A and B are shown apart, each in its own frame.
Chain A
Amino acid sequence: MSVLKDSIVELIRKTSAEIPDDVQQSLLASLKREQAGTIAESALKIIQRNIELAQSKSQPLCQDTGSVIFYVDAPRDFDQAGFEETAREAVSAATKAGYLRQNSVDSITGRNDGTNVGPGAPVLHFHQHRSPEIKVRMMLKGGGCENVGAQYSLPIEKMKANRDLDGCRKVILDAVLQAQGKGCGPGILGVCIGGDRATGYEHSKHQFLRKIDDRNPNPELDRLEQDILETGNSLGIGPMGFGGKTTLLGVKIGVLNRVPASFFVSVSYMCWAFRRQGVTLSSEGKIQQWLY
């Protein structure tokens, strides 16, 4: 039991303190793109210094360590209930160790018991698969960027957004416009076309598990992703909304079926402090491999 707990605490530590390599590469590329001497460039340089400091001190990249979300893929005989209990213990241990801020509040009383464990905290998604592999991925999703997420119910007449891919494009770009720099951009968009109000948002977050530089296997969605990335970056919003060339680092779009009466487009925004990591575990719970 405690092997598994130690592994999850280590997963949380690394997620909180170290930016994944794909995100780092993308941030470095954007630093090159910005014009020398601009405030956009300065902002990205400070972000780089922050990344280095956090890693070397093993301290949270950002003080808002966000909501703690786990994605677990495991075989049929996997002890799901046991994992959940251990994950909750690990979250409260990681909070004691300072890898997570005391960040979970009772929604009615406002009380914060300092453990980060409570109803809906942490969030756990389990998926059973046929391979023997145990894969645990996690994400820390900050509040500032969560607040600029948006859900659109198509059609929307005043935006001339119909129930087609062009309508989707319009509302996704509207979300970028409304967010400006408020979600601590440059940001990454996770989008879901379809689903219901709950599954749409859930699936939009799921897109953040994809690497920034991967490409969508569906050619139509790939085109839409590239188009929104390019168009979004042409708006001049820039890092922190200071103006500049990098507004978005990536756009990831998934699709779910919908009922004929509904057409939702759900957009989640992830800040530059994109904290996600993952491991494969042995059956005893030991970390075998890092995934990002």
Chain B
Amino acid sequence: MISLTAPFTEEKIRALKVGDEVEISGVVFTGRDAVHKYLHEGGALPAEVSFQNGIVYHCGPVVLRDEQGAWKVVAAGPTTSIREEPYQGEIIKKFGLRGVIGKGGMGDRTLAACQEFGCVYFHAIGGAAQVLAECIKRVPNVHFQKEFGSPEAIWEMVVEKFPVVVTMDSHGNSLHKKVYDASVAALAKRL
């Protein structure tokens, strides 16, 4: 198990390899369909948000407010990442992202951007909403909640030991590709 703590520098990210199990501690920002489309169309991030050396999490969390008015994450599993494939590479390049967390993996354009600009794809465990919510210690802020609605907003989350697996690294390797190719070959033998 590798522990990855903020700041998420290029050096730390480049050291990661496909298959590494990583626990992330620091700030991550959620962002899904609406945010990716908006940024890709030239939209600007709010002044208080920077993706430089940052991590974006494909997640539409369920967040409640407690009696003191603080945000509390009730469920926060990953959503399917491939929907952001048309936008992700550009956003990695333009905003300096170092990590993307999601599920299901992404395609060639994202993989190429990871290699060129020093970013990795972290796979979280799909459906593990409760375990992952427990790793979110604080939610200091939310942005674009009015514009995009709660699940699509940019939630700023302080996570501790958030468990993920590197499935696409910054050296051009993709576990998804490898498993797919191997399974195609294995099936061909059984037909």
List chain A positions with a Cβ less than 8 A from chain B. 39, 42-43, 46-47, 49-50, 53-54, 57, 59-64, 98, 101, 142, 144, 147, 160, 170, 173, 177, 180-182, 184, 231, 234-238, 240-243, 271-273
Asked if B128 and A50 sit within 8 Å, CB to CB, the answer is: yes
**Interface flag for B3 (CB, 8 Å):** no
Looking at the complex, which one of B74, B179, B187 makes contact with A241 (CB distance below 8 Å)? B179
Binding site secondary structure of chain A: loop
Residue of B nearest to A98 (CB): B74
Q: Mark B80-107, 1 if CB is under 8 A from A, else 0.
A: 1010000000000000000000011100
List chain B positions with a Cβ less than 8 A from chain A. 19, 21, 60-62, 74-77, 79-80, 82, 103-105, 123, 125-131, 134, 163, 165, 167, 175-176, 178-180, 182-184, 186-187, 190-191
Q: Contacts A39-B21, A46-B125 known; A144 to B179 CB distance under 8 Å? A: no
Q: Contacts A39-B19, A241-B179, A243-B175 known; A61 to B130 CB distance under 8 Å? A: yes
Asked if B62 and A101 sit within 8 Å, CB to CB, the answer is: yes
Asked if A238 and B126 sit within 8 Å, CB to CB, the answer is: no
A-B contact pairs, 19 of them (CB 8 A): A43-B125, A46-B131, A46-B163, A53-B134, A60-B75, A61-B129, A62-B129, A63-B75, A63-B76, A98-B74, A181-B104, A184-B127, A231-B190, A235-B186, A238-B179, A242-B123, A242-B165, A243-B178, A243-B179
Looking at the complex, which one of B75, B82, B176 makes contact with A59 (CB distance below 8 Å)? B75
Residue of B nearest to A169 (CB): B191
Looking at the complex, which one of B75, B165, B167 makes contact with A101 (CB distance below 8 Å)? B75
Q: How far is the CB of A232 from chain B (nearest CB, A)?
A: 9
Residue of B nearest to A238 (CB): B179
Task: Report the separation of the CA atoms of residues A237 and B187 in the bound assembly, to the nearest whole angstrom.
Answer: 11
Known A50-B128, A59-B129; 20 more pairs at CB < 8 Å = A42-B163, A46-B125, A59-B74, A59-B75, A62-B129, A63-B60, A63-B77, A101-B62, A144-B79, A173-B187, A177-B183, A180-B176, A182-B82, A184-B127, A236-B186, A240-B126, A241-B175, A242-B179, A243-B182, A273-B127
